[in-house]
Every structure is written in structure tokens, then in C-alpha cells.
Amino acid sequence: MWRTAVDRVLRPAGLVFAGLAVMFVLAQQGLAEETSIRVAVPHHGAAEWEMETIRNHSLDVENGVALKVVSTEYQNATISALREREVDMIIGNWIWVSRARAEGERFAFMPFSQGAGTLLKAPGAGIETIEDLRGKRLGVANSPREISWLMIRGLVLQERGFDLRDEAEIVYGEPGLLEQRFAEGMLDAVVTKWGFAERLEANGMERILDAQEAARLLGAERRVALLGFIFRDDWAEANREAVLGLLEASRQAKSLLRESDEAWEPLRDLMDVEDEETFEAMKRSYRAAIPRKWGAAERGEARVLFETLAKLGGEEFVGMNSALEPGTFWSPARY
């Protein structure tokens, strides 16, 4: 279940992309009053930090959107809430969106972050190379369809010729649960979300590879936004101005968090950090993951990566189609 006990009315979130601000200004002319948008975000995750920043700086008032944010513990619960129309948006990846569209569900994606999951090993686990993961206890954050896991798994298939899913002892779980199991010595390695990876490194785990590096080795020539806002086509069509307002508010929050150290101070409790070194590492990670552009070139890179993963893993990786589904990436110009 998604946690209504921690529901909060916060305010909008979004992206920093060329051309989007112009579209927002045009849309704002017809926005007479605040429109409510319900978004489910992972607890202790970057989306939660960003929306808290928007609230702290009253960016919602500037952008005409009142956002109800539901902080969740379980990724599957957020997906169910979106499918049941209990929320309007969640944070997810474009491979999932394409798969869903191929199955008849009309979801769409707009970027939130270039943040990538990371493969880390426990010291003393006897892991020196990727080959050494065979037979090891490998924790994977959230589900088999997590995009960072697919990138890393695909790279191992391409470069080493074996599937980590088959050769390692896979344990799926929420990032916080994997962190606990590592502390208890129950895992040899993990593929976990950014943010959680920095905390695990601070507690002794050692970085092997992250999903952005895997994407580059799979053929991407530039960093691609792996995570984004996911919402229904029909809802976006009916709420175009509000969606653009949300994206603009997020752009402003990202700019603030990139440029101001003071803006991070109210976020310490949400980030659940135990020391200053980890706090600073998570700030650096967030800032490095801010998308600078989402144009035709970046969308093209995503399509290439999708097709590469389809060749490597077929339906197991990307669903029934070998090419990214049309409409996966939302285009405000369509409306």
C-alpha cells in the first residue's frame, strides 16, 4: 500500500530544458487558478527533496499548480496507484512506458533526472571483476524492470556473454531493505538507486559500475535522462497548462539546488544522512544528474539504447516490441 500516513500537500516539480520555458509562458496566459496534481514519489528520493524545495521557496504560487505529493516506500504501489488513477504522476523510466504502451496503456514520459543506479560490492566478498559475480548474492533495487539493472545486465551480456539474472543469486527489494541486508552481511553486491548508493559507499561498499557508464558502453554518445515523470496521455491532454507549470517549477527548483548550498539545509532529515561526507556526496550526485537538454539527439540516444537492449535481451528486457513505442516521450506541441 502507498503510505497515506505521510501524504503531504506540497507543490510542483519538473525539468530544465531548452524551449520549455517559452511554452510555459504561453500556457500561463490561460491559467486562471491553481490546478491540483497528485504525484507519488519515493521516500528519501531526489524527487521528494526537489518538491520540498519547491514548497520551501513557494515556487508553487509562481507556477499555478497545487501539488499533492504522496511519499511511498514501494515502487509497485506507485505503479498500481497510477493505473488506478489514484495519482496523476509517478517517477519511472521510459523502457517501462514503452512496454506499457505496447500493451495498450497510454502512458507518457518527461525527464526528471539523469541519475543512474550503481553496482556496488561488499569488501571481502571475493569480487574483483564482473565474472566474480557468478554465484554471489546480488541485491537489485525494486524490480526486474528497473532501468539501471537492465543497462548493467545488458552490458554484461554484451561484454561477457552471460546473464547476471541466471548466474547470480538475485534478491529484489526496496533500496532501504537492501541497505539493511548489506549491513547484516546478507548480500555480496547490490544494484541500487542513486542517493542510496552514496550512503552504501559511506558504509563501506565499493563502486564497480553505474548505469550511465553501462549506457555509454552500450553505445550512447551522451548522457540520457533515465528517470522521468510518467502520466497518462488523456490526463496530460486535459491538463496541458498544469503539466507545463509543474515542469517549470521543477526547473526552478533544480536551478536553486544546483546553485545554492543553503537550499539543501532544510532537506537533511528527508535525505536521512548520518554524516557530512555522505550529505555532500548526495548533493554532488543530484547536481551531476540534472538534465541540461532533452532534444531530438537525447531522445534518439534513448531509442538506440532501447533497440540495443532489445537485441540483447528481447522481450525479457523491453517487452514485445524491439523499437521504442511512438508517443513514449510526451510532446507538448501535440496539444
Q: Topology of 4-114+225-334 in CATH?
A: D-Maltodextrin-Binding Protein; domain 2 (3.40.190)
CB 233 within 8 A of CB 108: yes
Provide the β-strand partners of residue 170.
138
| Domain map (residue ranges) of the chain | 4-114+225-334, 118-217
CB 247 within 8 A of CB 14: yes
Q: Would you say domain 118-217 falls under CATH 3.40.50.1860?
A: no
CB 15 within 8 A of CB 251: yes
134: buried, middle or exposed (CB in 10 Å: 19+, 13-18, 0-12)?
A: middle
Strands 169-173 and 8-10, bridge-based pairing: unpaired
Provide the β-strand partners of residue 111.
228
313: buried, middle or exposed (CB in 10 Å: 19+, 13-18, 0-12)?
A: middle
Q: What is the predicted pLDDT for the residue at 203?
A: 82
Residues 6+ apart with CB under 8 A from 254: 15, 16, 50, 290
Q: What is the predicted pLDDT for the residue at 333?
A: 60
Question: Taking the complete model, does pTM exceed 0.75, yes or no?
Answer: yes
Q: What is the predicted pLDDT for the residue at 3?
A: 33
Instruction: Say whether 118-217 and 4-114+225-334 share the same fold.
Output: yes
Q: What is the mean pLDDT of each run of 10 residues along the chain (335 residues)?
A: 31 38 41 77 87 88 87 82 94 96 96 93 92 96 92 95 96 90 92 86 89 95 93 94 92 96 94 88 92 92 96 93 95 59
Q: What is the predicted pLDDT for the residue at 8?
A: 34
Q: What is the predicted pLDDT for the residue at 33?
A: 67
CB 70 within 8 A of CB 87: yes
**DSSP H stretches of helix in the chain:** 20-28, 46-56, 59-63, 75-83, 94-102, 147-160, 164-167, 175-183, 196-202, 211-217, 233-238, 240-259, 268-271, 276-288, 296-313, 315-318
Name the amino acid, one letter, at 9: V
